[in-house]
Amino acid sequence: MTHTAPDAATSDLEADLDDLRRIGTDLTGGVPDGDPATAWQRRRDAYKLVGPLNRRKFTVIVVGTGLAGAGCAAALGELGYNVSSFTFHDAPRRAHSVAAQGGINAARARKVDNDSVHRFVVDTVKGGDFRGREADAFRLAEESVRVIDHLNAIGAPFAREYGGSLATRSFGGVQVSRTYYTRGQTGQQLQVAASQALLRQVAAGTVTLHTRQEMLDLIVADGRAQGIVVRDLVTGEITAQTAHAVVLATGGYGTVYFQSTLARNCNATASWRAHRRGALLASPSFIQFHPTALPVSAEWQSKTTLMSESLRNDGRIWVPKKEHDDRPPGDIPDAERDYYLERRYPAYGNLTPRDVASRAAVTEINGGHGVGPLHNSVYLDFADALARLGKSTISERYGNLFSMYRDATGEDPYEVPMRIAPAAHFTMGGLWSDFDQMSSIPGLFVGGEVGWGYHGANRLGANSLLSACVDGWFTLPYSVPNYLAPLLGDEPLPLDHEAVQHAVTSVRDRISRLIAVDGTTGPDRFHRRLGEILYRGCGVMRSADSLTTAIAEIRELRDEFWSDVRVVGSGAQFNQELERAGRVADFMELAELMCLDALDRDESCGAHFRVEHQTAQGEALRDDEHWTFASAWETTPTGEQIRHREPLEFSAVPLQTRNYK
């Protein structure tokens, strides 16, 4: 790959970066030497074990009850450990995993389309633009077979072929059919099954479920994670709970953009508090913008709505060839339409990976070809599929999605094309962890979207439900006992321990500080303004100028927040304004680090598209010589940012330029 020689602007940027961050040390991911295809089996074989009679002597805290958290808590409970499960929801099934629609991938290769574990790994590593851990992709592929069989066994109602076998469909970035689904409700149905498995262990007495409890800090003592501090969202009571190990399965941080496809209550506080206690944060700027979200329709809108990527199996994406063409779509003849994904990427067409599809859509919209009242979207048209397959077949595949679109927009997608646009969605970055899913703080494990390793710089569709299930059911139940085994005989930290009291006091002081500001502006106003800064400066496309401007604007906004935020009421009661204020305060700090990471990574890769680094055809231009590593950020107690790195090696899938043409 060709790169220009350093110039004065590059030198100035490097000087600016030196003022913003320091360079730290190299990290090791703990992957066993040798063939990455067998690394997971060899690592499992080397794990220490805890005997059945000793398991009840250990306590494990699991924060989050989505697919990763529910699976981990249920599996550890089934094995005989004492598990405390925490969620800020009123029931575990409300976790955000319910929002995933299109499906879950698996390399079961039941269709005769030449799929395999190897092809799964190639697609995942290539889809992530070679910025994820190759051995993790092999584990994802290997365990995917067990995941589908397990979920099917515990009651997930997967779609079936006429003969009874499980049905599959295709998703972006692949040329085979490996996505298992339950119409457009896959996440919801898998979450119901996982929640029931969790509640079975609650009934058995191995899991204690704590609802309406929000984690606000991590307790670290003797260099390892030994508990959490939570706030009861109903009473406001601040309490601590200690354990031998802590698992965070609290999801991603896409809501930092305010308008995102995530639920409004999704937040980064649990992971950010852990980060401020010493857990490294990997590649925070790797943000996926989903290409098939509903476009923003008004300035007062509080979020965007996801439409499943599975729709791209049968829907064709297009814009008018003529700029600023406001004719109804039905009045635009086929010859005057640009099916731009099919034109640019004929081998994959409308099933190009999400980063490619989102970037192409933004290019069309910014080029004057956007459609709709605000000219901020493109068409997803099912006319050809309806004519070829009939309404009943399309309804069987996507009926609930079509109904949801009609309810949200007032338009019938059976009659007119859907209008879609990219929106902040999934975070490939997250707390750095080694091959055992343990963070840089011993005893603190991560599962699901709160982690980082599988997806690199771009997640393939339907790999998110899979990675959450693999972590929860088939990784953490192996790796957590390996950590616990040497601790046999140790008791959990007493609640009067200095580290516990310090963490509780820190939480109370932070709450008091938020309330004491007594300003004039609610936290949601600050959150909305933060999102606007990020969409401009660290959105689908970024540049050195946009990122440096964003960092300055975020700092200014953060100062204004701490001098003018209004939190009514007190901390000793149900207080949603206080909840939001605390989350927005954490978002402010996280947003600056996201922009710094994007500024520091002087290349384009996957969803991280720096406009300074693109090919003549407008594709992402990687710099493998200098940037084949995962960035892992440390924030010191004084706020200094230090970038560590984990070098990445690719032996099974050699480094190559992504090509979906």
The 3-state secondary structure of 242-308 reads ECCEEEECCCCCHHHHCCECCCCCCCCHHHHHHHHCCCCEECCCCEEEEEEECCCCCCCCCCCCECC
Q: How far apart are CA 368 and CA 373, in angstroms?
A: 13
Q: How many H helices and E strands in the chain? A: 18, 21
Phi, psi of 484 (to 5 degrees): -75, -30
Question: Dihedral sign, CA of 583, 60, 76, 132?
Answer: positive
Nearest to 285 by CA among 557, 590, 585, 26: 590
Q: What are 495's two structure tokens?
A: 């609640």
Buried/exposed code over 438-467 (b: 16+ C-beta within 10 A; e: otherwise): bbbbebbbbbbbbbbbbbbbbbbbbbbbbb
Q: How far apart are CA 411 and CA 498, in angstroms?
A: 60
Q: How far apart are CA 119 and CA 141, in angstroms?
A: 9
Nearest to 280 by CA among 547, 608, 28: 28
Do 166 and 192 contact (CB within 8 A), yes or no?
A: no
Q: Which residues are bridge partners to 85 per DSSP?
A: 62, 209
Q: What angle do CA 44, 431, 246 make, to 5 degrees?
A: 65
Quote the longest CA-to-CA distance of the chain.
Answer: 75
Q: Which residues are bridge partners to 23 per DSSP?
A: 643
Do 140 and 466 contact (CB within 8 A), yes or no?
A: yes
Q: What is the DSSP string of 313-337?
A: GT-EEEEESSTT--S-GGGS-GGGE
Do 419 and 371 contact (CB within 8 A), yes or no?
A: yes
Other beta carbons within 10 Å of 26:
10
Q: How far apart are CA 383 and CA 591, in angstroms?
A: 41
Instruction: Return the axis-axis angle of helices 498-517 and 576-600, rounded to nearest 10°.
Output: 100
Nearest to 96 by CA among 74, 67, 73: 67
Strand, coil or helix: what is 11?
Answer: helix
* Catalytic residue set: 354
Total count of residues recorded for the chain:
661
Give residue 121's identity as a one-letter amino acid code: V
What is the enclosing helix (H) or strand (E) of 527? Answer: helix 523-537
Do 262 and 528 contact (CB within 8 A), yes or no?
A: no
Category of 84 on φ-ψ map: left (φ > 0), alpha (ψ -120 to 50) or beta: beta
Nearest to 547 by CA among 1, 21, 38, 8: 21
Give residue 351's identity as a one-letter amino acid code: L
Nearest to 268 by CA among 91, 444, 88: 88
Q: What angle do CA 36, 42, 48 make, to 5 degrees?
A: 140
Q: What are 312's two structure tokens?
A: 């791209």
